[in-house]
C-alpha cells in the first residue's frame, strides 16, 4: 500500500505534467531526471507549499486538500534546497524552528544525534554565522530530521558535499529512516548515490 500518490496527468501551471506516481512507505525513493523536468517542483507539490493546477495528491488514501495543511506539512516535511539558519547558535536554531512549529525543542542528546547523522557534529553553542555553506546545509538538515516527520522530502541534500561525505550522509539518513519507519523521497543528480541508496527510483521527463 502506498503512502503518497499523485494522480495521472497532474499539472503545475501547464508547464509540467506528471505521470501517476506512487510512493511506498518505509523506503527510500529517488527522483531523477534532467534539470528542468520538475523534480524540485514535485517535492513542493507533495509538501503542499505549491498547488497543482490540475490533478491531486493523496496521503494515506485521502486528498491532501481536505486535510489540515499545517498538520500535513509537519508530517510530510520538505527540506528545501535553499538553506536558512537564524544568526544564532546551533541550539537556538533548533529551538527557533521548533517554536515556529509550536513544539518543544528537542533534548540536547537528540540534537547532537541529529547533527551526527548529518555529519555535522559541531558543539551546540557554535554560532551559525561561522559555518561554511556545506556545513550550514548539514545543520539545516539536522534540524529537520530532529522533527521526526513521517515522510522526509530531500531536495538535493548532497549538492554542496564531496562524494565521500555525501555517501556517509545518505547512508546515515537511510539507516535513521529505516529505524524510525520514515519514508524518504530524495532528489539527486549523482548516479552513484542513486544506485547505492535507492529502494525505488522514479524517472521524470523521459530518459536522459
Partner 1 sequence: MNGVIQLQLGQFSLVYILLLIAGLIMRKYHIDKIKLLIIANVRMTIQLVIAGWVLTYIFKNPHVIFILLYLILMIGFTIYRVLSQNKTINKNFKTVIALSISISGISVIVFFIHVVVGESMFNPQYVIPIAGMIMGNTMTGVSLGVKNFRESLDGQRPKINALLCIGAAPQRILLPFVKQALETAMLPTLNSMVGMGIVALPGMMTGQILSGTLPFTAILYQISIMVAICTVVISSCFGSLYFGYKTLYDSKTQIVNI
Rule CB under 8 A: which residues touch partner 1? 47-51, 69-71, 73-75, 77-80, 82-84, 97, 100-102, 140, 143-144, 147
Residue 11: DSSP 8-state: E
Q: Which residues contact 166 (CB under 8 A, 6 or more apart)?
A: 158, 190, 193
Separation between Cα atoms, residue 154 and residue 77, nearest integer Å: 9
Cβ distance to partner 1 smaller for residue 18 or 144: 144
Nearest distance from C-beta of residue 144 to partner 1, angstroms:
6
Nearest distance from C-beta of residue 66 to partner 1, angstroms:
10
Cβ distance to partner 1 smaller for residue 71 or 179: 71
Cβ distance to partner 1 smaller for residue 63 or 208: 63
How many CB atoms are closer than 10 A to CB 3? Answer: 19
> 3-state class of 56 per DSSP?
coil
Nearest distance from C-beta of residue 206 to partner 1, angstroms:
28
Cβ distance to partner 1 smaller for residue 81 or 168: 81
Cβ distance to partner 1 smaller for residue 15 or 70: 70
Nearest distance from C-beta of residue 174 to partner 1, angstroms:
21
> Counting Cβ atoms within 10 Å, is residue 13 exposed (0-12), middle (13-18) or buried (19+)?
exposed
How many CB atoms are closer than 10 A to CB 182? Answer: 21
Nearest distance from C-beta of residue 192 to partner 1, angstroms:
27
Give the residue carrying C-alpha cell 550550514. Answer: 136
Amino acid at each position: 500500500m502506498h503512502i503518497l500518490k499523485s494522480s495521472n496527468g497532474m499539472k503545475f501551471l501547464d508547464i509540467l505534467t506528471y505521470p501517476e506516481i506512487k510512493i511506498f512507505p518505509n523506503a527510500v525513493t529517488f527522483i531523477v531526471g534532467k534539470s528542468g523536468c520538475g523534480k524540485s517542483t514535485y517535492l513542493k507539490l507533495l509538501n503542499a507549499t505549491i498547488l497543482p493546477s490540475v490533478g491531486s495528491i493523496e496521503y494515506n488514501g485521502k486528498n491532501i486538500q481536505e486535510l489540515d495543511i499545517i498538520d500535513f506539512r509537519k508530517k510530510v516535511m520538505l527540506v528545501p534546497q535553499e538553506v536558512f539558519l537564524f544568526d544564532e547558535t546551533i541550539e537556538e536554531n533548533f529551538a527557533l524552528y521548533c517554536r515556529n512549529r509550536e513544539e518543544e525543542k528537542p533534548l540536547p542528546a537528540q540534537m547532537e544525534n541529529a547533527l551526527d547523522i548529518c555529519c555535522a557534529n559541531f558543539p551546540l553553542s557554535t554560532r551559525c554565522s561561522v559555518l561554511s555553506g556545506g556545513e550550514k546545509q548539514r545543520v539545516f538538515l539536522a534540524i529537520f530530521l530532529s522533527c521526526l516527520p513521517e515522510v522526509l522530502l530531500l531536495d538535493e541534500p548532497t549538492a554542496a558535499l564531496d562524494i565521500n561525505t555525501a555517501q556517509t550522509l545518505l547512508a546515515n539518513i537511510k539507516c535513521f529512516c529505516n529505524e524510525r519507519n520514515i519514508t524518504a523521497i530524495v532528489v539527486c543528480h549523482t548516479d552513484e548515490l542513486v544506485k547505492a541508496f535507492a529502494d525505488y527510483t522514479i524517472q521524470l521527463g523521459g530518459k536522459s
